Chain A
């Protein structure tokens, strides 16, 4: 897919662990791992909203479009 999830980059910038983020936004670590590894097919606005709130960033910081 041409959409890249830069969640690990943002986590590193905020010095936050995956476990911490998953607990903050209320999703399982398995689902967070799906997002981080770009295996996800779609992301709900509510999840995106929660991630942006927890990491204090915008959707553009997390999602990136790369032409294949």
Chain B
């Protein structure tokens, strides 16, 4: 299967990302309305901060999806080695690292929250938060390396184009 150009993997992924973007915007708006309507004031002050952290990470993820959508649209148009793509990758790795750090903080906070008589729940949620934070941190570091390689490739490509 073709990876670049029209009717390729990139075009399928860009369609998938567009659908994902719409779903995420819906969830974020829906979530905000739900929280606003059902807000009774949580007893655990940590939970408010955790909720804010999760919501912020949701917004950041949305920006990351938009950046990836831009990259795949460029790939769809067979514009591979463009500086725009490198910039979008840079934004993505910054966001990924921020989400990773955010979830590390959330996991520490979750371990200190007590959900009534379900003590195990805080440990389970804390454990999952650690996994999410590790995934985003590793993904972010991977993107840092990939961005640098990508930038070098763009420089080499430009040099090659300007060799007469």
Contacts and interface: CB of A to CB of B under 8 A. Distances in A.
A44 interface: yes
B32 to A, nearest CB: 51
A39 B159 CA distance: 10
A35 interface: yes
B1 interface: no
Interface of B is mostly: mixed
Contacts of A43: 163-164
Interface string B88-102: 000000000000000
A27 interface: yes
Contacts of A42: 159, 162-164
Interface of B: 158-159, 162-164
Interface of A: 27, 31-32, 34-35, 39-44, 47
Given A34-B162, A43-B164, A44-B164, 10 more contacts: A27-B164, A32-B164, A34-B164, A40-B163, A41-B158, A41-B162, A41-B163, A42-B162, A42-B163, A43-B163
23 contacts: A27-B164, A31-B164, A32-B164, A34-B162, A34-B164, A35-B164, A39-B162, A40-B162, A40-B163, A40-B164, A41-B158, A41-B159, A41-B162, A41-B163, A42-B159, A42-B162, A42-B163, A42-B164, A43-B163, A43-B164, A44-B163, A44-B164, A47-B164
